[in-house]
Chains A and B, each alone.
Chain A
Amino acid sequence: MSAKIGRGEIHWLVVIAITLICIALQDQWGWLSKYPQAWTVPFSDWLNIIINWMIKHLGWFFLGFSWLLEWPIKAVRWVLQSLPWGVTAFVFCVIAYVASGWRLALFTLCSLLYMVVIGYWDESMNTLSLVAISVPLAILTGFIFGVWGFHSNRAERVIMPMLDILQTVPVFAYLLPILLLFGFGTVVGLVASVLYSFPPMVRNTIVGLRSVPAEVIESGLMSGASKSQLFWQVRVPNAMRQLLLGVNQATMASLSMVIIASIIGGTEDIGWEVLSTIRKAQFGESLLAGMVIALMAMVIDRITYGLATRTDDYQNTAADTASNTTTRTLHRYRYWCIAAAGAVVFFVLAQIFDILQDWPRHLEWSPAKTMNDGLTYLVANFRGEIDSIKKFAFFFIMLPAKIGLQQAVSPFTWGFELTQTHRVAYVIAMIAIALLCMKRWNYKAAIATLLFAIFFYIGLTNMPWPAVILIYAVIAWKIGGPALGIGTLTGLAFIASSGNWPEAMLSIYLCGIAVIISFVLGTAIGIWASYNDTVSAFVRPINDTLQTMPLFVILIPFVMIFKIGDFTALLAIIAYAFVPAIRYAEHGLRHLPEDTLEAATMIGATKRQLLWQVKIPLAMPVMMLGLNQTIMYGIAMLVITALVGTKGLEQSVYIGLSDGNFGVGMVAGICMAIIAIIVDRCTQAWSRKRQAELGLNPI
């Protein structure tokens, strides 16, 4: 490292100096540590005024809309409820078979039987009916917006940020306004799920329509297509695969939202079942109900995904070549015929055998009680172990991050008092490490160490807010240029001025720890999986399952064992967020330029050198995207952990919902969205920058 001090170092040294000054002064000037009440801008009151005005003057419109939407839901619900379960199950199995073959059909059958036997058929059908209405609406909305965005760049520039906001503002935040406007009932869940699930459809529509090859468009034009023919007969069929992927994503989003929305609409559906049993601490029941959701999600995901990527699409089957047109038509519609015929057969059978109509109560079988007993036994017998795990994590990781070593270290927690000698030793050790980093790597590592040392000593929630804003803004600026820096500054300033600063720090602290652990853990597994096919094959289905699992359900096992609290939240976030880290690490390491690796091997790199000095640096941009996804997943789960009593922004959102205070919930929700968007932009910018430096193709 050269002795010359560059501009970058100076910027950072100034930042550190300001931080230290802020810390030193915060005892004298109270406003530095705590954002003064008097300075808060009453954003939430303004929002409440707006919503009240809307309810008063436009309420009739929304209520009418709600009334209209009620009908199709009722109709579908009636159909699904009155059909014998045998008929529904058969039709689903046929669809699953068409989508991806025998195995999925079998899986579908088992899942449906599970729902029947466990006694949740009616609830499942209620949830399904909501999904069945919300998905087409979301797809239609998404397609229309997507087409609009495709045709007009200006429209796209308006639509895209809106999508970002819809996808990052916590769902709890916009449940309330929907509730206030549309009134109680199933429609709330419907509207919420449409709002939440149409964005992926928009994105996929735009991407799909854009990526139709120019020559295909030209050949369409040369075939004499008019504008609408070109769109419907050339562009749309060519974009079909991407559109179907959009349908898949929209369906999954819709399902997860329908479940979450049951928090406000106490209708007889699965989400409600999970929630009420959790509240009653009936963990066995809640886990069983949660399994229903998980299975349903997996079946729907595999079916839509299978339909989207069907390999025998655009491929011949033997009978298609048959010259006889009737056989050909029959063959083309064979699955429709089978489904219809089977449905009729099962309907008739159901009239004769009652068991196919309604599964008799006495045959229902639920292991819930056994599970509850087992759990009680487990918790009672391993209390000591469970508590010590919890304590360890709490005292040595979570507490220092939250309130800093200066407060966390006490005889009660660490077993000793923090003395002046300790402090001096800490400072010297950290500076030494920083210098070492400087020597070994570069000044950035040293700066990062110093900042980390300060954070860890003071504690995130005790840091003076102006210093934190400054640090984050400078980081964003260094990574993504002035625009990102200023955006970050404004966004964080908004959080501070809305009076949500302490909660925001609590959210960042919890999510931050979880993300770091998830990322390290996930990357390690990903590296292992990239070397070992068995591990890879073993991890993949687990990942798939975790990713399709509705967030509620992931929460359940942790609550069962560790009760409510930050630690449970932490584990739940980790369980959900480490999946993308694994995926991206494995993908990044498995798809490296072959010639570079060969060259490195020929130079004589050992396996370890190859990994640390060639593979990981090259895969870094992809892994950074993994980090990005890890953070986004973490934030998504963080929102839900409000249910287990965390204290950050997510709780404010949730309280806003349960108190019926739209403004408070929405402002807290916007704060979360701001954090999510800032982190998203920073990690993406960083990844792109690295990628450009390495001269790799964008992924």
Chain B
Amino acid sequence: MSSEGLNNGAVKLSCRNIWKVYGDKAEQFFKDSQDQSNNPKARADSIRTAGHIVANADVSFDVHVGEIFVIMGLSGSGKSTIVRCLSRLVEPTSGEVLLDGENLLQKNDAELIDVRRHQMGMVFQSFGLMPHLNVIDNIAFPLKLQGIAEEQRYAQASRVIELVGLQGRESNFPKELSGGQQQRVGIARSLAVEPDVWLLDEPFSALDPLIRKQMQDEFLRIRSVLHKSIVFITHDFHEALRIADRMAIMRDGEVVQIGRPVDLILNPVDDYVRDFTTDVPWENVLSAADIVEQANGPTENKRRVSGDTPISELLTYLANHHDGLLVEDAHGTVLGMATARGVLTALASGCSNQISEN
């Protein structure tokens, strides 16, 4: 699994063996440290049998600087809980959260408030706007809490308002805005303090599909301007595909697989992951570089394509030329061969229930 594919940047935010157990005296399960080495799955099961709710079981992942890390999973799989553990809105029962190498869980209240005021921003599924404040005051709310003077915070807020394209709506109140506009306010507010880490918990799930698409574009635009380290939660694989650098898939509080979207499509670890990827338009997602094989035979006079060509553009050619074509990277170096067989193999890995060899 090539989980470190695109990102070689420094780790910004890292979560190590996070457990979150709901129920009375949940800490009892984490007293004896020699137990830690145990298989997390067995352990989660034993905690569940004791009548507790395990929302996160041994979750670990890293988010690199400038990366969009997407977390996916079915409802109740612990996505919201883990992202709240990252911001300590929920106190993890066990584990570590490292922000720039410092353990967030050891910070006291004042330090935590300071982190939230300057380093983290969060966007919520149902927006979480203050109904009694108008757009500009909502956006400037974090600045107001810091005690920044009105003039300055309005100036600062106006910049983000422009960024999310809400100029002219400054004095509207949330209930006068559409869902999409409200979420723009939520986004603007989370960006007003210019955080390094940006957490988004299903930010577009409450919006209808057309607006959602629009907001995704918006999000990608903002992100290309700002370059933040982002944790993005969604239960929509298409959304994940559009924006993710890397992603994690969760089930019952555990991380099932981490990798680039393509990795998940080509090498799903089990049927659960495969189920997420089945109705993905794989011919658009996969690119030539994803299906290359060792080049055997003569390579001269062959048609060459660049590695990031979507497979959909190759299909007709491959159907007529059984010997395939050459795939090269941006510098012209040959990566290997793309053949019809390669396409089929890639496709097969995303589908379960294949008939056997004989």
User: CB within 8 Å of B: which residues of A?
Assistant: 213, 215-216, 218-227, 229, 233-234, 237-238, 240, 313-316, 320-321
Contacts and interface: CB of A to CB of B under 8 A. Distances in A.
Contacts of B103: none
A234 B130 contact: yes
A222 B87 contact: yes
Interface in B167-192: 171-176, 186, 189-190
Nearest to A237: B132
14 contacts: A213-B126, A216-B129, A218-B128, A219-B124, A221-B89, A222-B116, A223-B189, A224-B117, A224-B118, A226-B145, A233-B145, A238-B130, A238-B131, A320-B171
A219 B129 contact: yes
A240 B131 CA distance: 10
A225 B128 contact: no
A315 B117 contact: no
A234 B113 CA distance: 15
Interface in B188-246: 189-190, 193
Interface string B66-79: 00000000000000
B340 interface: no
B253 interface: no
B314 interface: no
B291 interface: no
Contacts of A234: 130
A316 B176 contact: yes
Nearest to A317: B171
Residue picked from B89, B114, B129, most chain A C-beta under 10 Å: B89
B166 to A, nearest CB: 14
B311 to A, nearest CB: 41
A224 B193 contact: yes
B128 A213 contact: yes
Contacts of B120: 222
B173 A222 contact: no
Given A223-B116, A226-B113, A215 B130 contact: no
A314 B146 CA distance: 24
A321 B169 CA distance: 9
B289 interface: no
Nearest to B87: A222
B122 A218 contact: yes
Contacts of A314: 131-132, 134, 173-175
Contact of A219 (B109, B122, B175): B122
Given A238-B132, A316-B172, A225 B145 contact: yes
A222 B114 CA distance: 10
Contact of A224 (B125, B132, B142, B176): B142
A222 B141 CA distance: 11
Given A223-B189, A315-B176, A215 B145 contact: no
Most chain B beta-carbon neighbours within 10 Å: one of A221, A223, A316: A223
Contact of A240 (B132, B146, B189): B132
Nearest to B117: A224
B43 interface: no
Range class of the B interface residue count: 35 or more
B128 A315 contact: no
B121 interface: yes
Contacts of A226: 109, 113, 145
A213 B126 CA distance: 10
B127 interface: yes
Contact of B190 (A221, A222, A225, A321): A222
Nearest to A241: B131
A313 B146 CA distance: 26
Given A238-B131, A314-B132, A218 B116 contact: no
A222 B130 contact: no
Contacts of A220: 128, 130
B113 A219 contact: no
A227 B121 CA distance: 18
B116 A224 contact: yes
Given A218-B84, A223-B141, A237 B171 contact: no
Interface string B125-167: 1111111111000000110111000000000000000000000
Contacts of B190: 222
Contact of B145 (A216, A229, A237, A321): A229
Contacts of B175: 314-315
Interface of B: 84, 87, 89, 109, 113-114, 116-118, 120-122, 124-134, 141-142, 144-146, 171-176, 186, 189-190, 193
Contacts of A233: 141, 144-145
A291 B27 CA distance: 65
Contacts of B189: 219, 223
Nearest to A222: B122
Nearest to A225: B145
Contacts of B126: 213, 215
A234 to B, nearest CB: 7
Nearest first, the 7 A-B pairs at minimum CB distance are A219-B128, A224-B117, A223-B142, A215-B128, A314-B173, A222-B122, A237-B132
Contacts of A223: 116-117, 141-142, 145, 189, 193
B214 to A, nearest CB: 22
A200 B228 CA distance: 49
Contacts of B117: 223-224
A321 B168 CA distance: 9
B116 A221 contact: yes
Nearest to B84: A218
A219 B175 CA distance: 17
Nearest to A214: B128
Nearest to A321: B171
Contacts of A218: 84, 89, 122, 124, 128
A225 B145 CA distance: 6
B12 to A, nearest CB: 17
Contacts of A315: 173, 175-176
Nearest to A230: B145
B167 to A, nearest CB: 13
Contacts of B129: 216, 219
Contacts of A213: 126, 128
B147 to A, nearest CB: 10
B175 to A, nearest CB: 6
A219 B133 CA distance: 14
B89 A222 contact: yes
Contacts of A313: 132
A433 B133 CA distance: 65
Given A315-B176, A320-B171, A224 B128 contact: no
A227 B110 CA distance: 10
Given A219-B189, A223-B145, 5 more contacts: A222-B87, A222-B190, A223-B142, A223-B193, A225-B113
Contacts of B145: 223-226, 229, 233
A677 B133 CA distance: 42
Contact of A316 (B124, B133, B141, B173): B173
A648 B57 CA distance: 65
Contacts of A219: 122, 124, 127-129, 186, 189
A224 B146 contact: yes
A240 B127 CA distance: 19
B188 to A, nearest CB: 12
Contacts of B125: 215
A32 B282 CA distance: 88
Contacts of A320: 171
A219 B183 CA distance: 13
A521 B131 CA distance: 43
Contacts of A321: 171
B211 to A, nearest CB: 19
A235 to B, nearest CB: 11
Contacts of A229: 145
A330 to B, nearest CB: 16
A350 B162 CA distance: 55
Contacts of A224: 113-114, 116-118, 142, 145-146, 193
A314 B174 CA distance: 8
Given A222-B121, A316-B171, A216 B128 contact: yes
Contacts of B118: 224
